[in-house]
Amino acid sequence: MDIIKRIIKYRQLFIVLVWREFAVRYRYTIIGVMWAGLQPLSMMLLFTFIFTYIMKIHVSAYPSFIFYFAGLIPWTFFAHSINSSIPSLTNHYQLITKIYFPRELLPLSSIATALLDFVICAVILFVFIVIYQIPLTWNALWLFPLVVLLVVFTTSVSLFLAGLNVYYRDVRLASNFLIQLWFFMSPVMYSVDSLGTKMKLMLFLNPLTFIIENMRRVLLEGRGIVLWQMAFVCVVIGVFYVVLTKFFIKIERAFADVI
Amino acid sequence: MSSDEYTLKLDGVWKKYSTTDFFHKSIREEIVGLFNRKKDDTLSKDEFWALRDINLEFKQGDVVGLYGTNGAGKTTILKIISSITYPTIGSITVNGTVAPLIEVGAGFHPDLTGRENIYVNGTIIGMQIKEIKEKMDNIIAFSELAAFIDMPVKKYSSGMYLRLGFAIAVNSSAGILLFDEIMSVSDGAFQQKCIDKIKELKRENRTIVMVSHNLSLLRETADKIYLIKDSTAVPMSAG
């Protein structure tokens, strides 16, 4: 809660930092903001090609590229957030050693930029849903709490890693490999649906499994959410958030001396 | 004393820094510190006191100069005032808003235009977006950069960069302003303009803390000067 209070106090700076990051990213580019959709779309094409023609895996009743795209959107948000927030503090060491502001604003503005990309991709997904006439049900409303869980989880992990990177630059070096591992542990190119209980439980240790899997279910398959699982994941992510943000605020005071 | 007065008090402030590059220890100390609170007032190997028992008190309307050679601890004092860093021992009391300004042009992004960077730097030093919009014309006029304001700042010369930064800084509405060596690089005419502006801010009854190793410049503007030497502060005669 501390972090939310601090952001509200510094919201004007936060808005400007998000705008700055977004503006700078697409300045001097030809296709500009279209880059936001390009990466997940090309990954989608790749998966569709590999799993339709090479490995011949049947993943869904609806077109499989939509299946992959729906998994790639939350995944890309998570991966981009982590990747851009880890160096966000160390890259701005000049600001950190000269000016006081809540340090979490830097990683958070990276996350906010990734969230804007997420929204752009979500619009593209919605266009696919309309074109391929995938029926939406009321269960699709579960999407909103799922997005909240995704953002809270991503924020906790990003703040933790970004803060740790100030002390140990190993974090930055390890992150690529870590994200790659995490990718295969998350149901982006597969679904946990067909797996046995043991395997499912193991994969559900990763909060992203629950989030990505259920985003697809409620939106594309019109299925509901298992409530006890939802409650469990909420508690896990809540604990993550409290512990990791406390840790960040604790070490944040020394950033200017250490960085 | 009414609460809307801007005052600033440093009470027996000591600050310890380490000379080594290895900070692995410090995060461990933070974590250990969660469990046992002990004040470490002793130096271990590779540590030194950047500040030793600093006692300063600034009242509203004070223009204070901190004078000293490089590395004497002047900037560390400003950093502690603006809570960029924290004292190892001692306490600081701040009444009023501190413009978190230590260097001009903080947060300027080379790819953004002068005008866009006014928003970035302005909010970083604590201004509201609305306030920046209102003051935009003033800021541009003060910087004398009207012709170049929509150009990316990477194409600015360092003098132009500095002028834009200073123009934003002096338009801050904060009660306590901190300036670190900001006038030493600009040309004579602009420097005079800055001195006049500082005098004007003083008439508005704002508290200003200035750091410089240019004593004559400090004598011209400040009404209290402290010599920062060997990590301690000694009052000097002003004017």
If you write DSSP's letter for every residue of B84-134 in order, what string do you get? SS--SEEEEEEESPBP--SSTTTT--TTSBHHHHHHHHHHHTT--HHHHHH
Write the single-letter amino acid at B191. Answer: Q
* Angstrom distances, CA of residue B105 to CA of A28, B201, B239: 23, 20, 30
**At a CB cut-off of 8 Å and minimum separation 6, what does B200 contact?**
none
A145 vs B79, which has greater pLDDT? Answer: A145
- Which residue from A minimizes the CA distance to B120? A16
According to the model, what pLDDT value does residue B169 have?
Answer: 83
| Among A159, A155, A151, residue whose Cα is nearest residue A248 | A159
pLDDT at A257: 81
Q: Which pLDDT score, from 0 to 100, does residue B214 have?
A: 79
CB B53 within 8 A of CB B234: no
Mean pLDDT of the A108-137 span: 94
Q: What is the pLDDT of residues B197-213, one digit of tens each?
A: 888 888 888 888 888 87
Q: Flag whether pLDDT at B36 surpasses 60.
A: no
CA distance, residue B114 to nearest chain A CA (Å):
13
Residue A68: the pLDDT is 93
Closest-approach residue (CA) in chain A for B123: A13
DSSP letter assigned to residue A52: I
Lowest mean pLDDT among A116-125, B36-45, B66-75, B186-195: B36-45
Q: How much is the pLDDT for A35? A: 86
What tokens appear for B81 in the block?
């005032």
Distance CA A157, CA A147 (A): 15
Q: Which pLDDT band holds residue B31 (cuts at 50, 70, 90)?
A: low
Share of chain A above pLDDT 90, in %: 61
Measured between CA atoms, how close is B120 to chain A, in angstroms? Answer: 6
| Residues of B whose CB is below 8 A from A15 | 123, 129
Which residue of A lies nearest to B113 if distances are taken between CA atoms?
A24
Tell me which chain A residues have a C-beta less than 8 angstroms from the C-beta of B120. Answer: 16-17, 20
Contacts of residue B227, Cβ cutoff 8 Å, sequence gap at least 6: B67, B68, B233, B234, B235, B236
List the single residue in B with minimal CA-CA distance to A92. B107
What tokens were used for A44? Answer: 């989608």
Average pLDDT over all residues of chain A: 91
Tell me which chain A residues have a C-beta less than 8 angstroms from the C-beta of B85: 253-254, 256-257
Establish, for the pair of chains A and B, how many residue pairs have beta carbons separated by less than 8 Å: 81
A187 pLDDT band, cuts 50/70/90, is very high
Neighbours of B108 (CB within 10 A): 23
Amino acid code (one letter) for A3: I
* B229 near A CB under 8 A: no
Rounded to 5 degrees, φ, ψ at B115 are -65, -45
The yes-or-no verdict on residue B2 having pLDDT over 50 is no
pLDDT of residue B131: 92
- CA-based nearest distance B125→chain A, Å: 8
The whole-angstrom distance between A87's CA and the closest CA on chain B is 16
B27 touching A (Cβ < 8 Å): yes
Domain count, chain A: 1
Which of the listed ranges A30-39, A62-71, B74-83 does the model predict with the highest average pLDDT? A62-71
Q: Which of A188-197, B45-54, B135-144 has the lowest mean pLDDT?
A: B45-54
Q: Name the strands in the sheet holding B47-58, side by side, starting at the edge strand that comes first in the sequence.
A: B47-58, B7-18, B89-95
Exposed, middle or buried: residue A79 (CB in 10 Å: 0-12, 13-18, 19+)?
Answer: buried
A20 → closest Cβ in B26, B34, B109: B109
For A241, phi then psi, to 5°, come to -60, -50
The one-letter code for the residue type at B171 is N
* Under 8 Å between Cβ of A38 and A69: no
Structural domain boundaries, residue A226:
2-258
Flag whether residue B32 sits within 8 Å of chain A, measured between CB atoms.
no
Decide: A219 and A133 in contact? Cβ < 8 Å.
no
Structure-model confidence comparison of residues A166 and B97, the more confident one: A166
Residues in chain B with CB shorter than 8 Å from the CB of A167 are: 23-24, 26-27
Cβ-proximal residues to A62 (8 Å cutoff; 6+ apart), any chain: A132, A134, A220
Question: At CB < 8 A and 24+ separation, what contacts does A29-36 make?
Answer: A33/A120, A36/A116, A36/A117, A36/A120, A36/A121
Q: Place B37 in a pLDDT band, splitting at 50, 70 and 90.
A: low
Cβ–Cβ contact A24 with B under 8 A: yes
Average pLDDT of A247-252?
Answer: 89
Residue A192 gets which letter from DSSP? G
Scan for tokens 């310890």, then name that residue: B16
pLDDT of residue B205: 85
- Band (B1; pLDDT cuts 50, 70, 90): very low
SS3 content of chain A, % helix, strand, coil (to 5): 80, 0, 20
State the pLDDT at residue B23.
55
Res A81: pLDDT: 96
DSSP state of B152: B
**What length does chain B have?**
239
pLDDT interval class at B231 (50, 70, 90)? confident
B100 and A12 in contact by Cβ < 8 A?
Answer: no
Q: Which of A167, A250, A256 is closest, CB to CB, to B84?
A: A256
pLDDT > 70: what percent of chain B? 82
Higher pLDDT, B107 or B228: B228
Q: How far is CA A90 from CA A59, A72, A169, B130, in A?
A: 42, 28, 9, 30
Question: What length is written for chain A?
Answer: 259
Integer Cα distance of B238 and A74 in angstroms: 62
Tens digit of each residue's pLDDT (9 = 90 or more) over B100-117: 666 777 778 888 999 999
In angstroms, the CA B123 to CA A177 distance is 36
